[in-house]
Amino acid sequence: MNNTKKKSSVGDLLMKLGPLLVLALLFIIFTIALPGRFLKVANLMNVLKQTSVNCLIASGMLLALITAGIDLSVGYNAILATCTIGVMMQNGITNPFILILCAILVSTLCGFINGTLYTRLDLPHPYVSTLGMKFVIWGVALLITHSQTIGFSNKGIDAVLWIGKATIFSFGFPVCFILVIIFYILFHIFLNHTALGRQIYCVGGNPEAARMSGIRSKDVLTIVYTISGFMCGIAGVVLAGRLNTANTASAATFDTDAIAACIIGGASFRGGKGTIWGTLLGALLIATIRNGLNLFSAGNDIQYIVIGLVIIVAVTIDVFRGKFEANARKMAAASK
């Protein structure tokens, strides 16, 4: 009994580290194939910088996925936050605190609307409410910016841009990734050590059982989408510094990148599972692939193909992991 348990947990661990192993493998391949170019501190810091926005958006997306939902509005919600900063700046407001606060508030409000529409109108799936809101937010962003790109350089809001741009330490560690680390630790604590966090998993696993146990499933879901909106706001602030502009066209792949990070990291469309560290690995994996292929001077075409295949492979591994675990359980039960 003990023996099998040990064996299965080793196998289990190996499988859980799947994305990590893939990441390590990629590192080795890129290091060998791109001598002196990939494995450089400056380049690695670049990867972290490039992945920050996706990490922040994916954390909120993860919550939605755990509840068996999805948030399709994330990309334009983040852009709306950036545009809010831009428009307020054009109107003469340069106080960084007010700008950041307003950007985050606008996105959080959008998230709250997402959740409210879904839960109070009894829409069949958040796909509907967030898809609708995606277009509404997109339109609003175009409306307030008059469909113009807003440049941030030398406009007196460098303090806001600092978050997305600045690096610290002698080796240039990006500030925005420190933000990611802080939020991911908070998410880890939230999801595993608070009642609300566990309730999110329970509502995702079985909303009716959660309701019959006295959990206000609708409120929990509304909070989930509000948090997703909040994280888009943070991502929008980082985006301002990263892009130096507010441009509605830059949201193109934000939503799919975030979903990909979560799915590669072990979340499931069926809900009830997924971890924040898995999501981090997923996001890093995507960023590493992009970075490596960029250094090979491969274009977007190749990058999309590779990332698409990685998603399929990652989920396939996950399916096999499930079967493997079920088998290990049967063995354990048999040897009892």
Partner 1 sequence: MADYVVELKHVTKRFPGVIAMRDMHIQIKPGEIHGLIGENGAGKSTLIKVLTGVHVPEEGEIYVDGQKVSFANPVQAREAGIACVYQELNIVPMLPVVDNVFMGRKVTKPSGLLDYPRMHKEAHEALELLGHPEVDTHTECGKLGMGLQQMVEIAKAVSIKAKLLIMDEPTSSLGEQEVKQLMTTVRKLRDEGIAILFVSHKLEELFELCDRVTVMRDGEHILTEEMSTMTNDRLIQAMVGRSLENQFPKEFGTRGPCMLEVKHLKELGVLKDVSFKAYGGEILAFAGLVGAGRTETMRALFGADKIDGGEIYINGKLVSNKNPGQSIRNGIAFLTEDRKGQGLVLSESVKMNLILANMKRFKRALLLDHPKIEKNSQEMISTLRIKTPSSNEICAQLSGGNQQKVVIGKWINCDAQIYIFDEPTRGIDVGAKIEVYNVMNQLVKEGKCVIMVSSELPEVLGMSDRVIVMREGRVMAEIDRDSDHFDQESIMKAAWGGAIA
Q: Which of 127, 160, 144, 157 is nearest to 79 (CA)?
A: 144
Instruction: Tell me the two tokens of residue 260.
Output: 């990909």
Give the contact letters, 181-210, x = binds to partner 1 (CB under 8 A), - = no: --------x---xxx--xx-xx-xxx-xxx
* H-assigned helices in 146-245: 158-165, 175-193, 195-205, 207-212, 217-243
214 touches partner 1 (CB under 8 A): yes
Q: Which of 222, 292, 296, 290 is nearest to 69 (CA)?
A: 222
Instruction: Select the residue interacting with partner 1 from 213, 305, 308, 320 (CB under 8 A).
Output: 213
Name the amino acid, one letter, at 311. I
Contact set for partner 1, span 113-132 (CB under 8 A)? none
Q: Which is nearer to partner 1, 9 or 300 (CB)?
A: 9
Q: How far is the CB of 173 from partner 1 (least distance, A)?
A: 29
329 touches partner 1 (CB under 8 A): yes
Q: What is the DSSP letter of 122?
A: T
Q: How far is CA 280 from CA 19, 91, 93, 132, in A?
A: 10, 37, 35, 28
Q: What is the DSSP letter of 251?
A: G
Q: How far is the CB of 146 from partner 1 (least distance, A)?
A: 45
Q: Which is nearer to partner 1, 273 or 321 (CB)?
A: 273
Q: How far is the CB of 219 from partner 1 (least distance, A)?
A: 10
95 touches partner 1 (CB under 8 A): no
Distance, CA of 60 to CA of 202 (rounded, Å): 17
Q: Which is nearer to partner 1, 85 or 220 (CB)?
A: 220
Q: How far is the CB of 207 from partner 1 (least distance, A)?
A: 9
Q: How far is the CB of 215 from partner 1 (least distance, A)?
A: 7
First to last CA, the chain: 6
Q: Which is nearer to partner 1, 92 or 214 (CB)?
A: 214
Distance, CA of 30 to CA of 205 (rounded, Å): 39
Q: How far is the CB of 206 from partner 1 (least distance, A)?
A: 4
Q: How far is CA 99 from CA 156, 182, 200, 248, in A?
A: 12, 21, 31, 18
Distance, CA of 138 to CA of 251 (rounded, Å): 9
CB atoms within 10 A of CB 250: 18
323 touches partner 1 (CB under 8 A): no
Instruction: Select the residue interacting with partner 1 from 22, 117, 215, 284 (CB under 8 A).
Output: 215
Instruction: Tell me the two tokens of residue 161.
Output: 């841009």
Q: How far is the CB of 124 from partner 1 (least distance, A)?
A: 14
Q: Which is nearer to partner 1, 166 or 196 (CB)?
A: 196
CB atoms within 10 A of CB 6: 10
Contact set for partner 1, span 255-294 (CB under 8 A)? 271-273
Distance, CA of 230 to CA of 157 (rounded, Å): 21
Using the rule CB under 8 A, give the single segment among 15-23, 69-77, 214-222, 286-294 that binds partner 1: 214-222
With contacts defined by CB under 8 A, how many residues of the chain interact with partner 1?
Answer: 32
Site residues for partner 1 per CB under 8 A: 5, 189, 193-195, 198-199, 201-202, 204-206, 208-216, 271-273, 327, 329-335
